[in-house]
Structure 1
Amino acid sequence: MYNADQMWVAIDCLVFGYDVQEEKLKVLLFKRKIEPFAGQWSLIGGLVHYGEDIYSCAERVLKEFTGLENVFLEQLHTYGKAQRDPGGRVISILYWSLIKLDQLFKDIAQAHGAKWFDVDKLPEMILDHPRMVENGKDKLKFQAKNAPLGFELLPENFTMPQLLQLYQAIYGQPLDDRNFRKKILSTKLLVKQDKKDKSGSKKGAFFYQFDKEKYQELRDKGYHIEFALK
């Protein structure tokens, strides 16, 4: 238990992944091992050490639970209600991260009791973590309209239908496929490959890759695209 006369700063990491086969957006949760709330589902997180930068703490937490370094990691929000944690006065700074499912070091994640859940089928979580996930989903939708998205979630080679399915998973509703293709191609983000994916039909769908330089340029500059709903 915490000492109620002290104040702590915690880092919680909201980790999103995307399952291309299931066409589902995922969130990484773990079963908390300490009181309060031992045995309950939680975002991955930990307390900031004295003398530790908060971003360094976020990097440490992410590596501890996933084994990953040098992946997308960005501060999203701060949660500071005085009574948010019955264990003591804890201010939580939320970071969000995007990773490919196959990047996860499964043995490390399993050692911490971490597991992927569909974003729309999450178990009951501790404290204000459900609100954190909702804030993260809102951020993803905003990001999808205002900056490139997909490099951190999709395989290196992907088809236009797979990119569309990712955006539909983020929006939570179907998008007009012709409108989507036209607007995405207008950004010059995609490099068409010679090979096709013929697993879904004889005609097949061409593979694409992201132009990394263009991706970073537009990530820095931003843009705004409104995709039409189906």
Structure 2
Amino acid sequence: MQLPGIKEQGKIIETINSWDKAIELKVKLIEQKKEQKKGLMQKLLTGKVRIPGFNGEWVESRLGDLFKERKEVAFNELELLAITSQKGIVRRTEVEIKDNSSEDKSKYKRIMPLDIGYNTMRMWQGVSGVSKYEGIVSPAYTILKPTKRVDSIFMSFLFKLPHTVNLFRRYSQGLVDDTLNLKYEKFKVIKVLVPQDVSEQKAIAGVLLSLDNQIELMGIELEYIKQQKKGLMQLLLTGKVRVKV
């Protein structure tokens, strides 16, 4: 095996370290942005900070008055979707776990765009999301059809707030965590505080979606930097590209 001289080795290490620092900085910036979003969610979703132009009343409402349960089945031809803790509702093909679902999808539930779906056994952990798609999901999920009183995206953020997740846990039934479940009959009696003006709900959702988009873009940039570093290492460590000493 041929090796470069000590000085050139040092330069190669220095070059690679500069990419490591760029990656470390990007990771730090992403974490800072996530913390910013978390703090803003706490303020905007509780009415502690209002968006300029909105001063209407926030009202306590039962979730059953804001959402009705969708229990439509026998839509076997629709695409299979999944509800994840990190990405919300995604196409089942995007989930990197084995598909153990049966071929018979007749009891699978239909979900429509802007419906919210949640994992009945894991809602106390905040496993829910708003759907972009029309499709079907496992019978283990509960599907919520929004009324005209709510913006689904606003509510999807509210459902991730620690206080709301604690409410979901409190109303879930079961002796231990592994058996806790929150069926619609219990879900619908939970009370939450929401802006009466749906336009304010949409405005709040817009701010939080913008932060999500920024975080996603920064994540893409991070992966790009990692790939660049990988490619550069391949060139430098094989001598295909030399550094000036």
TM-score (norm 2): 0.22
- Which of the two has higher C-alpha Rg? 2
From the two aligned structures, give the one with the greater helix fraction: 2
TM-score (norm 1): 0.23
Give the number of the structure with larger relative contact order, counting CA–CA contacts within 8 Å between residues 6 or more apart: 2
* Greater per-residue strand proportion: 1
